[in-house]
Amino acid sequence: MEGFNYKDYDGLGLAQLIKMKELHPKEVLAEAIKTIEEDNPKLNAVINKLYLSAEKMAENVDLEGCFAGVPMLVKDIAQEIEGERITLGSKAYQNYRAKADSNYIKNVRKTGAVFLGQTNIPEFALMGITEPAIYGPARNPWNLNYTPGGSSGGSAAAVASGMVPIAGANDGGGSIRIPGAYCGLFGMKPTRGRTPVGPFYGRYWRGASVDLILSRSVRDSAAMLDAISVYEKGAAFHVLPFDGNYLEQVNKGINQKLKIAFTVQSPLGTEVHPECKEAVYKTAKYLDGLGHNVVEMAAPTDGKSLAHSYLTMYFGEVAAQLASLDDILGKKVTMNDVELTTWIIGLVGKATSAEEFVLSIREWDKAAMAMESFHETYDLYLTPTTAMPPAEIGELEPSKTEKLAMHAAGKLGVGGALKKLGIVEQVAENNLKRTPFTQLANLTGQPAMTVPLHHSQSGLPVGVQFMAARGRENLLYSLAGILEQSEWWVPVQNNPFFR
């Protein structure tokens, strides 16, 4: 097609051109491959290219799918493609190949999207940055010296740079919303039970983690959620299906006066950067000007207690992941098979009792009940997505002294001692203080979204987060559609990779 510029289109826009036969899927795929080859050396967002299988997919596209022929990357964890490598960002899995499609992939296939690669993640998706030892750091398209966030950092960098319009992502503590905020994208974490998790597990991270995508447009996210929302037999959690169409909600508007609570105070009582506060204040003022009732009011939950319960799950899940590695490696896993921090976290998880684990999940349930009551009064809860702008690459790397101490502890296997001293928990909390707002929705099962409504003085995007009651993604999409048309929406095309 004469004058076609691949980066000008979102996913639904490309699909429309293909359905109208103005472009063939193979032509679009060729542009996507060309873009990845040009941009990825600078960004390190794509770690496994699937070009040959993508070409076969492009030859047999079902034009009925909403993303027919649209190039898409998937995340290197929980989004298994049968026969393809999936490494979970770890050298321990470098030779592992998926035995079957995950249910997420099975459902996304029905949209007609073409999978052409996998994206960079931190080992086992454990960090809010993407700097795995096996692949090296992914970089932010707005400034290559900064992280795109994590754990869906590679997906965010790929979408924000224009390599693809959509990319697979999942969110167990903010892993869609954090990189979405850092890279100026739209990111929705759906209600627990809304999207597929099987067939290998019935829940991820005790139900904290759910899958969807990162996208440049709100409508792409809504269309994908329409396409993959399912009642999944065997899954641990289910939610009542939405009696409608999410894509239609994007342009529907809101014909009611909403009551919106907001806060700029960290639930951990830690610092919040002035730019992140400013983004919320600006948004609150805008919504007030639209006639909504906006009041400053923090969530009725104990942020520190919830952070502790989140970390208890986090430590336990890592210990279980390491235990399952014995079968993958065909030998007993050792600290040489994974990154040092991962090994230490696993040791602490091993030293955590079943009693502590159960008590931590009870904290989630208490918070869920409290938030249900909260949303009987307030339709939405508005916060910064993150407490600070993106960190520089390497900024959060443990110091030499910390590494020496961890290495000694790892060799001795003293998880119990580390736990009693609280060293690992302190390190984890130091990381959480940069991103203390996102975990609440994971633990309560609520939907939450990040929207790009602010820029820092240094030119980096700053995200704003909205949470709604469980099952109310429709309200979030309606609001996102309004915000996307406002003067405050920061176009991702403003970053250097679109110039």
- pLDDT tens, 165-224? 999 999 999 999 999 999 999 999 999 999 999 999 999 999 999 999 999 999 999 999
Residue 401: per-residue pLDDT: 81
pLDDT digits 0-9 by tens, 386-414: 999 999 999 998 888 878 877 887 787 77
Residue 364 phi, psi (nearest 5): -60, -45
Residue 407: per-residue pLDDT: 83
Residue 3: per-residue pLDDT: 80
Low-confidence stretches of the chain (pLDDT < 70) are 421-425, 427
d(CA 490, CA 197): 32
Q: For 171, which DSSP code?
A: E
Residue 427: per-residue pLDDT: 67
- What's the pTM value of the predicted model, to 2 decimals? 0.97
d(CA 32, CA 39): 10
Q: Which domains does the chain have, with CATH numbers?
A: 6-259+452-498 (3.90.1300.10), 303-377+397-432 (no CATH)
Residue 424: per-residue pLDDT: 66
Residue 4: per-residue pLDDT: 93
DSSP secondary structure of 229-295: ----TT-S---PPPSS-HHHHHTT---S--EEEE--S-TTS----HHHHHHHHHHHHHHHHTT-EEE
Which residues are known to be catalytic? 75, 151, 175
Compute CA distances 230 → 227, 342, 359, whole Å: 8, 33, 30
Residues 6+ apart with CB under 8 A from 101: 80, 81, 82, 109
Residue 408: per-residue pLDDT: 82
